[in-house]
Structure 1
Amino acid sequence: MHLPLIGRRRAPQARVLEVRAEAPTTRELLVESIRARESAALGDLGAAAGGRALCSLS
């Protein structure tokens, strides 16, 4: 995708597109946080069932 240039600077909308492409969205951060907690909880459940130390405490 070719972005238009204005003088030496890129158009403002072009900079916004670049930032959005590089930075994770709030939704992505929330999903990763939930997945991490879910993974720890499943690990703790497995540890409790197997008599091992809990993942969230180590």
Structure 2
Amino acid sequence: MVRLTSHESLSRDTLRRRLAENDLKPWRRRMWCVPKIDAEYVARIEDVLDLYAEPSDASARDLL
């Protein structure tokens, strides 16, 4: 954060406030957790990818 400002240093309290103001939580990570990749998992992923590859249905879009 110091690199992004013209300050030479920042207090812990200033850093805490800036993180809170911007709802930043650098200690958290969002990621997918896949416990086991097996043949069944791969088959299900392929089904989803096939569905995305199909042309869109215009009548279904009208419902949105």
TM-score range, shorter chain: 0.3 to 0.5
User: Normalising by the residue count of structure 1, what TM-score does the alignment of the two structures yield?
Assistant: 0.33
Greater RCO (CA < 8 Å, at least 6 residues apart): 1
More strand by share: 1
Structure 2-normalised TM-score? Answer: 0.30
